[in-house]
Structure 1
Amino acid sequence: MSAGSVAVVVTEEIGVPSWDLYELSIPCTVFGKPQPDLANPWYDLRLCGTGARAQDGAPTDTGLALRSPYGLDDLADADTVIVPSVPDPCVDEGRPLPQALITALRRAYDAGARMVSLCTGAFALAEAGLLDGRRATAHWMHTAQLAERYPKVQVDESVLYVDDGDVLTSAGLTAGLDLCLHLVRRDLGAHVANQLARRMVVPAHRPGGQAQFIDLSVPTRDDKGLGPVLDWARAHLDQPLTVEDLALRAAMSTRTFYRRLQATTGTTPLQWLLNQRLGRAQTLLESTDLPVEKVAELSGLGTANNLRHHFLKQIGVSPSDYRQAFPRAMPESTSSA
């Protein structure tokens, strides 16, 4: 399965502060470094500059320069177009975005590209009309401006990212990494995304509905954290785990464990367990030929009907359809041990 081409827009205009290095680095790291043992070919990454300064390699306010043979015209040839961020004055002061960029984004969408924004890149997609009538998000510091400036957009300020099929938006900073790994998961499957996340030393999967801003003001004890008990739970997903079981293993009351987990992960213990079970089921469906009934058992979802129910609700397809979408390139042991 081909991963496809990814065009990353680098907004750079004379007199306008330049791109955010952190958010630019995210798609470059995820899509730009070949991973031949995970998928071959890997993604074809292209950095596309918007202005003369970027294309000519002149210095920017970051102290770096962009040299790339690709420009806005190349967006229409990409399978995925990512806008990492837009210049601060275009967000804070309402200065117009380059019309050439807006036109290029519309052309890319009309040509069938999957459109993605990280953080304030949502302003560019909204200006191009690609978010009209859609649910979308951005960094929580800018969602009010996004909603006010583009009233046709259904802005959700509380989530990490929104997957609306062919148009996806994320909050800022690390949420952009969550969305890029989500794209890998969509394209190449949970096994590849999990292995890539492991190499990057980040969590394998944070659902898009997780809260952007996690309140860490609740006092907690420094008692090795929740890591050991969560690792134990992942290794025993085939067992009928309860919140009480995990709290007991963490030497906490059920109420304290609930608060600690929600403060740490942004989700409830039951939802966290369900997400882990679904992730395990995805990996088994991709990497083994086990029957659906066995996959349900090993992932802790019990029955095939229960697995199908949660798969359709959370992932949008049946387990059998999901399995057909991903070849088993790296078989996993089919034993139940």
Structure 2
Amino acid sequence: METSSSKKKIVIIVMTGNMLVDFAGPSDVFTQADSYLMQSAAHEATPSGYEVLITAPTMDRTIKTQTGVEIHCPYHAMEINFPVDTIIIAGNNFNQNNDSALEPFYKWLTATYKKQSVRRIASICGGAFVLAKAGLLEGKKATTHWELSEKLKRSYPDIQVHANQFFVNDGNIYTSAGVSSGIDLALALVEQDFGKETAIHVARKLVFYLSRPGFQAQFGRLLPVYESVNIAGKIQKWLQEHLHESLEVARIAAKVNMSTRNFTRVFHKETGMPPAKFVEKLRVEAARRFLEQTNTPLERIAEKCGLGNLVSMRRVFLRHLSVTPSDYRRVFRTALKDPAMEDVLFET
């Protein structure tokens, strides 16, 4: 197996069932960086850069993507017997039927990590579960797609899950969140390897932020969906209808005919948070919807959602989302307004 010896080898191992951008995005980042470095150092005999290898985790070398595209790779992971700079695990299909076919891959990944023969190992989206299963994340900080963060916590309690970040590194292990966050991570690795100028050039080429607004925060739901038997599920609709009012714990407890002390105890046990924090997150979620779907002034949104004034709403948004309300609207504003949202806002 012959490869260029002068460039950093980036091996992207693609798990079956992924979106194309899970691996195509990072691959494009490294490929564009290599092209830029080649042009910048055209006079050098052995210019530095990247060599990207798309690799399958199974011996049939075949990857079936979520979009229906089937990819036949030149290698499977177990054939990687040459020096590698970075291994990136793209996604995870969570298909238990593939466990036996993936056993050699997991053994190879664990052995590769233990031999410390690779400078960096990274994951994209559900790829964090692959690293965890191979034993690479024990006691480490990690992230994954916001929809999978609770599952990662439950499945691997020893991992310090940072659910709100685009990417996290702990030593030489890097994990990134969902889909496009793999591009964020790839750009950060390019900057680490060849400096900010190269990373900026690639980001401009791809029409992508070098560092996205929000201090690298994901923008998933702040609250899970609670079943009707959960105390939060019982009162959530009522709370949403009264966000513009004062919602002291005693008032909420009275709504469910409980003492303040008992309500607080039960609520914390069933949701993992105090009632006041739950209400604050509901208010932020409501404000997000208005920011996304209406032209309503920020001050009016703050008032309607019970967030006080613009200053206090800004402070709460920074605490929960690491982004200001105005920046959030700029990034997530839909092109199609929902007239019903305007009606809801101004009905009182």
TM range (shorter): 0.5 to 0.7
- How many Å apart are 1:97 and its aligned residue? 7.7
For residues 214 and 78 of structure 2, the distance between their equivalents in structure 1, rounded to whole angstroms, comes to 31
Contact 2:214 2:322 in 1 (8 A): no
- Match of residue 179 from structure 1: 185
**Number of residues paired by the alignment?**
230
For residues 48 and 213 of structure 1, the distance between their equivalents in structure 2, rounded to whole angstroms, comes to 30
For residues 188 and 207 of structure 1, the distance between their equivalents in structure 2, rounded to whole angstroms, comes to 23
- How many Å apart are 1:257 and its aligned residue? 10
Report the secondary structure of 2:289's partner residue: coil
Equivalent residue letter for 1:125: L
Identity of aligned residues (%): 30
Shifted more, 77-86 versus 210-219: the winner is 210-219
- Match of residue 65 from structure 1: 70
For residues 218 and 259 of structure 1, the distance between their equivalents in structure 2, rounded to whole angstroms, comes to 17
Normalising by structure 2, we get a TM-score of 0.57
Output aligned runs, 1:85-124, within 5 Å.
85-90=91-96, 98-109=102-113, 110=115, 111-124=117-130
Equivalent residue letter for 1:8: I
Contact 2:60 2:76 in 1 (8 A): no
- Match of residue 310 from structure 1: none
Normalising by structure 1, we get a TM-score of 0.59
Contact 1:23 1:118 in 2 (8 A): yes
Structure 2 stretches of 5 or more lacking a match? 1-5, 42-46, 221-284, 297-308, 326-348
Q: 1:179 to 1:60 in 2, by over 3 A?
A: closer
- Structure showing greater radius of gyration is 2
- Match of residue 169 from structure 1: 175
Contact 1:75 1:81 in 2 (8 A): no
Q: 1:166 to 1:60 in 2, by over 3 A?
A: closer
- Match of residue 323 from structure 2: 267
For residues 188 and 61 of structure 1, the distance between their equivalents in structure 2, rounded to whole angstroms, comes to 33
Q: 1:27 to 1:130 in 2, by over 3 A?
A: same
Contact 2:188 2:199 in 1 (8 A): yes
For residues 53 and 65 of structure 1, the distance between their equivalents in structure 2, rounded to whole angstroms, comes to 12
Q: 1:165 to 1:207 in 2, by over 3 A?
A: farther
After superposition, the C-alpha distances for 1:19-71 in whole angstroms (9 at most, x for unaligned) are 3212021122112343223564321001111224434x8x7663323233222
Equivalent residue letter for 1:101: F
Q: CA RMSD in A?
A: 3.5
Contact 2:214 2:323 in 1 (8 A): no
Compare the two structures and name the one with the higher strand fraction: 2
Contact 1:75 1:104 in 2 (8 A): no
Report the secondary structure of 1:98's partner residue: helix
Q: 1:131 to 1:218 in 2, by over 3 A?
A: same
Report the secondary structure of 1:197's partner residue: helix
Report the secondary structure of 1:182's partner residue: helix
- Match of residue 146 from structure 1: 152
Contact 1:85 1:120 in 2 (8 A): yes
Report the secondary structure of 1:194's partner residue: helix
Aligned counterpart for 1:196 among listed residues 195, 202, 206: 202
For residues 165 and 188 of structure 1, the distance between their equivalents in structure 2, rounded to whole angstroms, comes to 19
For residues 132 and 178 of structure 1, the distance between their equivalents in structure 2, rounded to whole angstroms, comes to 24
- Match of residue 217 from structure 1: 289
After superposition, the C-alpha distances for 1:198-220 in whole angstroms (9 at most, x for unaligned) are 11111122389532116633538
1:81 and 2:137 aligned: no
Q: 1:114 to 1:8 in 2, by over 3 A?
A: same
- Match of residue 12 from structure 2: 8
- How many Å apart are 1:197 and its aligned residue? 0.3
